[in-house]
């Protein structure tokens, strides 16, 4: 199998992801698949592919036996053949899928984010599957690589090799991609709290303006 383009990897990964997250809509239509490729959340990098671009990527993936088209409905739908086409188990495919969708990840991040695709018992089991994927066999090349630990990071990250050697930008200090699940959860809570306080502040402003209007007081700030 040749090296995949970034869009081909995204298309394959979206098909694997949506099989588990939206089973009622799977296999996917071209429109649904394009929306999944261009999704703004849980994607790195964010893409803006057209349906024509996605269709071309699908044809290339079909030639590599990684994707199949399904007929029999009003629109053509597509399903992945990732595990068999790549020669990896379901757990390994789940890890590759997250790496293709979100970029380099730590083992803790991978365990957290693969929950809906495959439930790993612990971080060590994730590490075990990654080490298997990092070894080339007589049937397939190495599919992942462990990256050097970034300055200030507590854990090393893993990257997939389906699109060739990863190009990692130089990093200094804290790296968001290297944060622990606990830190990521804390950040999410802080953002939610900030949004809540902002909404409350806007409501208070409206209340003050209404009360000032009823009392005939100028509520504008000098």
pTM, full prediction? 0.75
If asked whether residues 187 and 152 sit together in one domain, one would say no
Cβ atoms 181, 112 nearer than 8 A: yes
Do 89 and 192 lie in one domain? The reply is no
Q: How confident is the model at residue 71 (pLDDT cuts 50, 70, 90)?
A: confident
pLDDT of residue 172: 40
DSSP codes joined into one string, 44-73: SS-----HHHHHHHHHHHHHTTSEEEE-SS
Cβ proximity of 145 and 134 under 8 Å: yes
Same domain flag for 48 and 147: yes
Residue 139 lies in a domain: yes
Statement to judge: residues 145 and 195 lie in one domain:
no
With respect to residue 201, please indicate whether it lies within any of the assigned structural domains.
yes
Higher per-residue confidence, 67 vs 211: 67
| Tens of pLDDT, residues 14-43 | 999 999 999 999 999 999 999 999 999 999
Q: At what angle do helices 6-21 and 30-37 cross, to 10 degrees?
A: 110
Q: What percent of the chain has pLDDT over 70?
A: 86
For residues 64 and 149, state if they share a domain.
yes
Domain that holds residue 191: 180-221
* Averaged pLDDT for residues 207-217: 79
Region 64-82: mean pLDDT is 91
d(CA 11, CA 113): 18
Asked if 83 and 150 sit in the same domain, the reply is: yes
Query: Do 146 and 187 fall within a single domain?
Result: no
145 close to 131: Cβ distance less than 8 angstroms: no
- Final residue of a structural domain among 107, 129, 160: 160
Q: Are residues 52 and 98 in the same domain?
A: yes
| Number of domains, the chain | 2
* Per-residue pLDDT tens over the stretch 156-180: 999 999 999 987 654 444 444 445 5
| Mean pLDDT, residues 53-77 taken together | 92
33 and 63 both lie in a single domain: yes
Do 46 and 149 share a domain, yes or no?
yes
- What is the mean predicted confidence (pLDDT) over 74-96? 95
- Supply the CATH number for residue 37's domain: 1.10.10.10
175 domain-assigned: no
Mean pLDDT in residue range 60-78:
91
Same domain, 200 and 90: no
> Is the same domain home to 143 and 188?
no
């Amino acid at each position: 199998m040749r090296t995949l383009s970034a869009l081909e990897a995204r298309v394959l990964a979206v098909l694997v992801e949506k099989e588990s997250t939206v089973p009622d809509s799977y296999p996917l239509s071209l429109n649904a698949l394009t929306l999944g490729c261009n999704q703004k959340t849980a994607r790195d990098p964010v893409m803006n592919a057209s349906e024509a671009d996605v269709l071309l990527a699908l044809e290339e993936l079909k030639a590599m036996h990684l994707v199949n088209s399904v007929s029999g409905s009003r629109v053509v739908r597509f399903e992945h053949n990732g595990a068999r086409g790549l020669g990896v188990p379901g757990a390994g495919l789940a890890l590759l899928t997250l790496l293709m969708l979100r970029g380099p990840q730590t083992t803790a991040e991978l365990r957290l984010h693969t929950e809906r695709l495959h439930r790993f018992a612990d971080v060590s089991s994730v590490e075990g599957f990654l080490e298997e994927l990092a070894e080339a066999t007589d049937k397939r090349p190495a599919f992942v690589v462990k990256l050097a630990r970034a300055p200030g990071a507590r854990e090393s990250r893993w990257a997939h090799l389906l699109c060739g050697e990863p190009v990692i930008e130089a990093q200094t200090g804290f790296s968001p991609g290297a944060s622990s699940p606990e830190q990521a959860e804390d950040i999410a809570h802080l953002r939610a709290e900030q949004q809540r306080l902002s909404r409350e502040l806007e409501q208070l402003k409206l209340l003050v303006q209404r009360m000032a209007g009823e009392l005939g007081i100028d509520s504008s700030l000098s």
